[in-house]
Structure 1
Amino acid sequence: MMCMTKPALLSGLALAAFAAIPVAAQVQPLKKAVADDIFADHPSMDQNATVMPAADAKPVAAIFAERPIGDASVARLPGGGWILTGTSLRTGARHGVELWRSADAKTWTRVGPAKISGNGIKVGDVSERYLAPSVTVAGDALYLAFSDKTGCARIAIGSAATPGGAFAASPCLVEDASDVSLFIDNDGKGYLVWGGGMIARLVPGFQKIAEAPRFLKPDQTLFAKHPPVGKDWPVRTRIGTRGATMTRDGDKYILVASETTGRMRTATEDLFVAEAPTPYGPFTMRALAVPHAGRGSLVRMDDGKLAAVYNPKCDDGFALFCEQVGLAPLERAPDGRLRQAASVITEDSAVAARKPLVTTESMRDPSVTLGGDGYYYLVGTLDGYGYHRPEGGVKLWRSADLKTWDDAGFIWKWEGLGYDFGDNIAELWAPEIKWVERDKTYYLAFSVMERGVGGKTWLYRSTSGKPDGPYENVTKSYFVKGIDGFPFEDDDGLYFLWGGGSIGKLNAKRDGFDGPVRTLVDADGDHVGYEGNGLIKVNGVYFLTGAEWHGPLRTHGTYDMMYGTSKTLFGPYSQRRMGAPHGGHGTAFKDKQGNYWYTMFGNDPTAPWRMQFGLVPIDIGDPASIGVPRIDAVRD
C-alpha cells in the first residue's frame, strides 16, 4: 500500500466558528526589547519569524503524485520545462535513477530510469539502487549526482534535450558519500556537495575532485558575543544534517540542508538555509527556511524567484502530505534572509490557518473564561514581556461571540499590592481570570517576576461579583512562590494550580490551603508542562495542560501545548502527549455551544503569528484526548 497521504489528524468538530476570523483593523507595533532585556532575541520576536502567512495564504499543493518518492530534486529545463528525480519508494522500479519531465509542473511524463553507463556501471543493472539522486541543468547538459551501491559519489552527464537518453558516469569522486548534489557556478566551475554540508571543487569535466573536501558551517565569529547553549548548540556546528545543496542568488551563495529536530514532538524534518559571498563561506547563522519541507533543493520559478522543494516523509504528523512533491515559494524577510513566502502555509493543523483576534496590543499567556453573565473575558501578559512596576497592570477584554473583543480597560494596577520589591525590576506576568460558579464571583491570579529573585503569585477576588472588580487580595501578601497561577473549580471545591504542577485545595475563606499541596505528574513521574499548567474536566476526565519547548530552544524550537489525562484530580496522569502545536501557555475552555477552544499567543518562529491573542479549535474526546483538526476542516 502506497503511503502517499500522511496519516490524518483528529477529524475535528463541525464548528461554525472555524471560518477565518477578521483581524482588528488597528495594529500596534510590538514593544521592542531593550538592549539589556533578557528577551532581546526571544523566538517570539518578529525578527526571528519563519512563517508570516498572509490573510489569503494557501496550503502548499502537490505538483507530483505519480508515485511515492523521497529526497526529491527538481530543476528547470532549457525552454522552461521541468525535470524531477528522487528516491523511488515501494512500488515500481527501484533501481537506477528515475526521471520525470513536465512542461508546466502539473502533468508529468516518466522518462526513466536513466540509461547510465561507464566506469563499472551498466545500463539496467537492477543491483544498483541510487538513494537521493539529484538533478542539475547547465546549458544543454543534464547532470545526475548520486551515490552508487558502494557509497561512491558519482556524476552522470547527459543531454537536457533528451533526458531519456544516455548518461556517462564519472569514476568514484568521493567514498562514503550520501545525498550527493552538483552545484555549477556562473563561471562553469563545478562543486560536489553532499551529506549535511561537505563540499569539494571538481576539475573541468567533473571526473574527479580538485581539492580536499571541507565542511561548511556558520561563521564562528558570529557567536563570539552570544554563544549558543543547551539545546541551541546545533546552530553553531552545522546548517543541517542531510541533503545539502547549493545554488546562487545574485551575488549570494545559498546552502540549504535539512534536519529532523524533534520540533512539535514529531519527526519534523525542516529545511535550513545559510548564505555566503563565496561557495566556501563565511556563512551566516542558519535560519529555518521551510518547516516540514523534508530534504529538498531550490529551483527558480517563472517569476525569477526561488522556491523550495516540499517533499515530507510520512513520519511527520503535521506535514500537508507525504512522499509527494510540492513547491514552496520563498521570499526575503526584512533582514534579508530567505524564508517561506507569506502566500503559503506548510503545516497541516488548525493552528496554521488561524489569525490573531486582538492586534491592538501585544499579549502573552492569554486566559479566557466564560462568565456568569454569558460573556467571555480575556486577560494576558501585556506590554511585550510584562509591565514593569509601577506601570500598567491587568487589562480586561470582553466578547459575546469569541470574534469581536472590546477593551474594558484596567481592572487591577500595582497600587495597593502591599509588597516591597525595593529597587529591583518586577514584571507582571501571566494573569489568569476565572469565573467560579459556587462563589458567584471572579478570581484573578497573576505572577510577579523579580530579576535575580524569581517569581511569586498573587490571588485576588472580585468583591462585586463582576469581572471588572473591584478586586481584593485574598491574603495580605503573595499567595504562593512560583509563577502561572490557575484557579480550578471541581465538584468538591476550588483548587489552585501553579508552577510545574503544584496544586492545593483552597479553604473556605480562600486565603490558604485546606490540606496538603501535591504535585501533578504523568505516568512516568514527569511534569506535563514545565510552565503554564491548566485544568479542564470533560465527562468525568481531568485534562491537565501545560507548555513545553521542543527542538532547538531559542532558535527554531516549538512552544507546544502538552496534556495528560486522569479519572482522578491528583492522577497520576497519562503519559504527556501533544495537544496543540504552538499552543504553549494557554487556557482550554468550553464555549456556549459546547465547543472547545485553546488560547494561544504565538511564542515561536513557526507560529502563524507572534505575541498576540488568538484562539485554536480543539477536539476533546475519545474519551480522553486533545487534538487539533486538520487545516481542511478549518477551511470548510
Structure 2
Amino acid sequence: MTMRSSLYLAASYLIASCLITGAAGLSPVGAQEQTFKKAVADDIFSDHPSMDRNAVVMPDEDAQPVTPFFSERPIGDASLAQREDGSWILTGTTLRTGTRHGVELWTSPDRQTWKNWGPAKIEGEGIVPGDVSERYLAPSLTVAGPALYIAFSDKTGCARIAGGMAAAPGGAFAASPCLVDGASDVSLFVDDDGTGYLLWGGGSIARLNEDFSALAEAPRVLKPDQALFAEHSPVGKDWPVRTHIGKTGAAMIRDGDRYILAASEVTGRLRTATDDLFLAEAPTPYGPFTMRMLAVPHGGGGSLLKLAGGALAATYNPRCEDGFAMFCEQVGLVPLERAPDGRLRQSASVLTEDSAVAGRRPLVTSETMRDPSVTLGGDGYYYLVGTLDGYGYHRPNGGVKLWRSADLETWEEVGFIFEWQDMGYDFGGNIAELWAPEIKWVEGDKTFYLAFSVMERGVGGKTWLYRSTSGKAEGPYVNTSGSYFVEGIDGFPFEDEDGLYFLWGGGSIGRLNAKRDGFDGAVRKLVDLDGDAVGYEGNGLIRVDGIYFLTGAEWHGPLRTHGTYDMMYGTSTSLFGPYSQRRLGAPHGGHGTAFRDRDGQFWYTMFGNDPTAPWRMHFGLVPIDIGDPTSIGVPRLGDARH
C-alpha cells in the first residue's frame, strides 16, 4: 500500500452504500459486511473496495462454474426470453458458421435441447424475405403476454421492431418502419401497463407510440444521477462511473417498483478485454439512476430475465477476446442476488472467471489480513505475517503477528513478534499505521529478517529492518540500523548468491553491508525495458534457474470502483535488469510474496483487494507455475490445487 494509492482512493472511490438510492424495502441476501475498528475522522480506508460491502463476487464453498446451455453454434449478443408456458426462446448475432442473415431463432422446453427455426420471417418496408444481404446484428427478444417482439438494427442501421406470436416462432413477424437511424444494440422494454420503450447503444431510450410503429418522444440518454457525485467526483480511469452505465447492449426489465438498466463494457480488468455486464436501478424508466454496478464479471453483452418465482438472472455470453471468461460465444445463465446494501450481483452459487484464483478460498479467516508474506524457514516450517487490524494497527496498538504451518493448509497463530519497540524514531502526535510486514529466512545468515513499513499521516512512509537474534522466527528481533532503514514503504529482503539485498518502494534496491545496518554501494532502480516500474508497489523477487522474477502490484481497469489489483512480473538474467515488459502473473494477486515449497511447487500469497476477488482481506495462496524459464503461469480453474 502506498500513500499515493491511498490519496487517490480518498479522491476517487465512491461509497457503495450510495449505489442504491431509495432502495428501501429490498430484501438483502448474501455475504455479511466485514467490521473493522472504528474509523478515525480522516480514515481514508473507510470504504476501500476490499471491504465485503463492495464485493461483486462472494462465492459459496460449493460454488460451481457457469456452464453453457447453448453451444449449437457460436453466437454473440445473446438474447434469451421465457414464454408463458415456461419454455425458452433464444437469438443472437450468428458468428462465422451457418446462416448469417436475418434473425435466427431457437426454442427449447428445458434449455437443454434446442430447435432451430432458421431466420425469422420478418416482413416490412425495404425487407426482402430470404435476402442473404440482410445482416442484422445484436437482435433482442421481448415476450409480452402472447406476443413476441424482435428488436433489431437493419442493414441500413435503422432500429426496427418486428411483432409476432411467441407460440409461433416460425410464423410471420411484421416489422415497424425505421424508428431511429444509425442505431445499434436495439432492444424493447414493455412495462407492466403495456407502454413500450426503445433502447439502443449503451443507454439511449425513447417511449414508443401505442403500436410501437414510431417514437412518441425525443430520445434521451440514461446515466447515473449526477447528484451522487456532488461530494466525490471521480477522476482518471474511474471517470466512466459518472458518464454512462455501459457502452453497448442497453436493455431494461422491471423488478417490483424498480427499473433495472443493463449495459456491457469492455473494461480492461485483469489486463485483458474483460467483457463485463453492468447494472443500474431507478424508480422510473428515465431515472434517476444509481451509480453503475458491476453485476456479472465476464458476462458479455446479453439480456436480463425475471424467472418463474421472480428470481432475476442474466445471460452469460462473453466474447473470445476476454482471456478470463469461462467460455466464449456460447450462452450460459447466471442467477443474480442482492448484496446487503441492495446492489444486484452474481449469485454466490456461481463462478464466472476462469482462473485458479476464482475458485480458491482463504486459509486464515480469524482476522483480516493484507499484504501477506510467507517464507520457508530453515526448520522446515512455513511462517506468515501480514498487515492486520483492517488496514494496519495504529500505534501504539498491536504490531506484527506471526503464524506457522507445516503443510501450507493449517496455520497456527504464534503471537506478536514486534510491538512498536526499539524503533529509534519519534512519531510525535501523528497517526502511524503499520503496513506490509515481510518475513524472510536468510540461509547465509541462518536467521530471519523482518521488514515492515509505518505510514505517518501527513508525513509519508518509512521502512524498518529487524533481525532475529535467536535464529528463530519468533525472535527476539533487534533493529539493524537503530532507526528506520529507508524512506518509502514495502520493504523486501532478497538473498542472492553474492549477499543480501533490500528492495522497497516501486523498485529501489541496494545490497546490504556486512552489519546489515546500511547499504554496500549504490542504490539502483529496477525497471522494465520501457523504463517503467514492474508494479507501482509491493515488489518482490525470486530467482529460478538463473532467471530473476521481479513481481509487483498494479491496478487494471476502472481502478478502485471495479478494477483488479493484480500481480505483475518481469524477468531478467541480471538482478539489476532491465526486466522484460511487465506481464500479468496472478490475477487479483496484487501485493504478495512468491515462494517455493518443500516439494518444489511455487505459490503466491494473496489477500483480496478488489471487488471481483473471491474473498477480501484474508490470507490465501495461489499456485503459480514457472515451468517456462521466463514466465509465470497460473493454472485455470479446473487445474487449481485444493
Whether contact under 8 Å (2:34, 2:51) holds in the other structure is no
Residue 235 of structure 1 aligns to a residue whose secondary structure is helix
Structure 1 residue 33, shift from structure 2 partner: 4.1
Does residue 372 (structure 1) correspond to residue 349 (structure 2)? The answer is no
Provide the residue aligned with 1:50 in structure 2. 56
Whether contact under 8 Å (1:31, 1:362) holds in the other structure is no
Structure 1 residue 28, shift from structure 2 partner: 8.1
Provide the residue aligned with 1:214 in structure 2. 220
- Taking the aligned partners of 1:397 and 1:42, their CA distance within structure 2 comes to 26
Residues 173-229 of structure 1 show CA distances to partners (whole Å, capped at 9, x for unaligned) of 001100000000000000001101000000011000000000000111111111112
Residues 306-331 of structure 1 show CA distances to partners (whole Å, capped at 9, x for unaligned) of 11100011101100000000001000
Structure 1 residue 415, shift from structure 2 partner: 2.6
* Aligned mate of 1:362, from 362, 365, 368: 368
Does residue 137 (structure 1) correspond to residue 143 (structure 2)? The answer is yes
Counterpart of 1:57 in structure 2: which amino acid? A
Whether contact under 8 Å (1:32, 1:384) holds in the other structure is no
Residue 418 of structure 2 aligns to a residue whose secondary structure is strand
- Taking the aligned partners of 1:145 and 1:178, their CA distance within structure 2 comes to 10
- Taking the aligned partners of 2:606 and 2:307, their CA distance within structure 1 comes to 35
* Aligned mate of 2:128, from 122, 137, 145: 122
Change (3 A) 1:35 1:202: farther
Provide the residue aligned with 2:19 in structure 1. none
Change (3 A) 1:356 1:230: same
- Taking the aligned partners of 1:166 and 1:128, their CA distance within structure 2 comes to 16
Structure 1 residue 117, shift from structure 2 partner: 1.1
Residue 227 of structure 2 aligns to a residue whose secondary structure is helix
Provide the residue aligned with 1:264 in structure 2. 270
Structure 1 residue 339, shift from structure 2 partner: 0.2
> Where in structure 2 are the equivalents of 1:177-188 lying within 5 Å?
177-188=183-194
> Where in structure 2 are the equivalents of 1:231-250 lying within 5 Å?
231-250=237-256
Residue 632 of structure 1 aligns to a residue whose secondary structure is helix
Provide the residue aligned with 2:324 in structure 1. 318
Change (3 A) 1:355 1:159: same
Structure 1 residue 116, shift from structure 2 partner: 0.6
- Taking the aligned partners of 1:491 and 1:111, their CA distance within structure 2 comes to 69
Whether contact under 8 Å (1:426, 1:449) holds in the other structure is yes
Structure 1 residue 594, shift from structure 2 partner: 0.6
* Aligned mate of 1:146, from 141, 149, 152: 152
Counterpart of 1:418 in structure 2: which amino acid? G
Does residue 582 (structure 1) correspond to residue 588 (structure 2)? The answer is yes
Residues 224-257 of structure 1 show CA distances to partners (whole Å, capped at 9, x for unaligned) of 1111122211101110111110000111000010
Residue 142 of structure 1 aligns to a residue whose secondary structure is strand
Does residue 344 (structure 1) correspond to residue 350 (structure 2)? The answer is yes
- Taking the aligned partners of 1:33 and 1:602, their CA distance within structure 2 comes to 21
Residue 222 of structure 1 aligns to a residue whose secondary structure is helix
- Taking the aligned partners of 1:466 and 1:28, their CA distance within structure 2 comes to 34
Provide the residue aligned with 2:601 in structure 1. 595
Provide the residue aligned with 1:39 in structure 2. 45
TM-score, normalised with respect to structure 1: 0.95
Residue 228 of structure 2 aligns to a residue whose secondary structure is helix
Provide the residue aligned with 1:85 in structure 2. 91
Provide the residue aligned with 1:448 in structure 2. 454
- Taking the aligned partners of 2:299 and 2:82, their CA distance within structure 1 comes to 19
Whether contact under 8 Å (1:28, 1:359) holds in the other structure is no
* Aligned mate of 1:328, from 322, 325, 334: 334
- Taking the aligned partners of 2:263 and 2:551, their CA distance within structure 1 comes to 34
Structure 1 residue 31, shift from structure 2 partner: 4.3
Structure 1 residue 32, shift from structure 2 partner: 5.7
Moved over 3 A (4+): 27-35
* Aligned mate of 2:629, from 620, 623, 628: 623
- Taking the aligned partners of 1:488 and 1:303, their CA distance within structure 2 comes to 58
Provide the residue aligned with 2:16 in structure 1. none
Provide the residue aligned with 2:561 in structure 1. 555
Change (3 A) 1:297 1:145: same
Provide the residue aligned with 1:609 in structure 2. 615
Counterpart of 2:382 in structure 1: which amino acid? Y
- Taking the aligned partners of 1:445 and 1:173, their CA distance within structure 2 comes to 66
Provide the residue aligned with 1:509 in structure 2. 515
> Where in structure 2 are the equivalents of 1:364-403 lying within 5 Å?
364-403=370-409
- Taking the aligned partners of 1:497 and 1:364, their CA distance within structure 2 comes to 19
TM-score, normalised with respect to structure 2: 0.94
Residue 352 of structure 1 aligns to a residue whose secondary structure is coil
Whether contact under 8 Å (1:28, 1:361) holds in the other structure is no
Residues 321-362 of structure 1 show CA distances to partners (whole Å, capped at 9, x for unaligned) of 000000010001000110000000000000001101110110
* Aligned mate of 1:168, from 149, 174, 179: 174
Percent identical pairs in the alignment equals 79
- Taking the aligned partners of 2:283 and 2:307, their CA distance within structure 1 comes to 23
Structure 1 residue 635, shift from structure 2 partner: 6.8
- Taking the aligned partners of 2:128 and 2:163, their CA distance within structure 1 comes to 15
Q: Is there any run of 5+ residues in structure 1 with no aligned partner, and where?
A: 1-26
Counterpart of 1:615 in structure 2: which amino acid? L
Structure 1 residue 398, shift from structure 2 partner: 0.2
Residues 62-112 of structure 1 show CA distances to partners (whole Å, capped at 9, x for unaligned) of 000000000000000120000000001000111100111000011111012
Counterpart of 1:147 in structure 2: which amino acid? S
- Taking the aligned partners of 1:394 and 1:110, their CA distance within structure 2 comes to 63
Q: Which moved more, 1:409-418 or 1:603-612?
A: 409-418
* Aligned mate of 1:464, from 457, 467, 470: 470
| More contact order relative to length (CA 8 Å, sep ≥ 6) | 1
Counterpart of 2:461 in structure 1: which amino acid? G
Residue 632 of structure 2 aligns to a residue whose secondary structure is strand
Provide the residue aligned with 1:11 in structure 2. none
Residue 328 of structure 1 aligns to a residue whose secondary structure is strand
- Taking the aligned partners of 2:608 and 2:129, their CA distance within structure 1 comes to 54
Whether contact under 8 Å (1:441, 1:466) holds in the other structure is yes
- Taking the aligned partners of 2:190 and 2:104, their CA distance within structure 1 comes to 22
Whether contact under 8 Å (1:30, 1:361) holds in the other structure is no
Provide the residue aligned with 1:22 in structure 2. none
Whether contact under 8 Å (1:171, 1:207) holds in the other structure is yes
Provide the residue aligned with 1:572 in structure 2. 578
Structure 1 residue 119, shift from structure 2 partner: 1.3
Residues 544-596 of structure 1 show CA distances to partners (whole Å, capped at 9, x for unaligned) of 00000001112000000000001111111111000010000000000011101
Q: Is there any run of 5+ residues in structure 2 with no aligned partner, and where?
A: 1-32
Change (3 A) 1:439 1:635: closer
Change (3 A) 1:254 1:34: farther
Residue 544 of structure 1 aligns to a residue whose secondary structure is strand
Structure 1 residue 40, shift from structure 2 partner: 1.5
- Taking the aligned partners of 2:641 and 2:372, their CA distance within structure 1 comes to 24
- Taking the aligned partners of 1:438 and 1:124, their CA distance within structure 2 comes to 78
Cα RMSD (Å): 1.1
Residue 623 of structure 2 aligns to a residue whose secondary structure is strand
Does residue 420 (structure 1) correspond to residue 402 (structure 2)? The answer is no
Q: Which moved more, 1:223-232 or 1:254-263?
A: 223-232
Provide the residue aligned with 1:282 in structure 2. 288
- Taking the aligned partners of 2:428 and 2:408, their CA distance within structure 1 comes to 40
Change (3 A) 1:565 1:478: same
Provide the residue aligned with 1:159 in structure 2. 165
Residues 279-332 of structure 1 show CA distances to partners (whole Å, capped at 9, x for unaligned) of 000001111000000111111233431111000111011000000000010001
Counterpart of 1:71 in structure 2: which amino acid? D
Provide the residue aligned with 1:535 in structure 2. 541
Counterpart of 1:233 in structure 2: which amino acid? W
- Taking the aligned partners of 2:255 and 2:42, their CA distance within structure 1 comes to 36
Counterpart of 1:360 in structure 2: which amino acid? S
Residues 466-504 of structure 1 show CA distances to partners (whole Å, capped at 9, x for unaligned) of 001110011011111110000000111110000000000
- Taking the aligned partners of 2:623 and 2:35, their CA distance within structure 1 comes to 27
Counterpart of 2:552 in structure 1: which amino acid? G
Residue 47 of structure 1 aligns to a residue whose secondary structure is helix
Structure 1 residue 34, shift from structure 2 partner: 4.6
Residue 552 of structure 2 aligns to a residue whose secondary structure is strand
Counterpart of 1:50 in structure 2: which amino acid? V
Whether contact under 8 Å (1:143, 1:156) holds in the other structure is yes
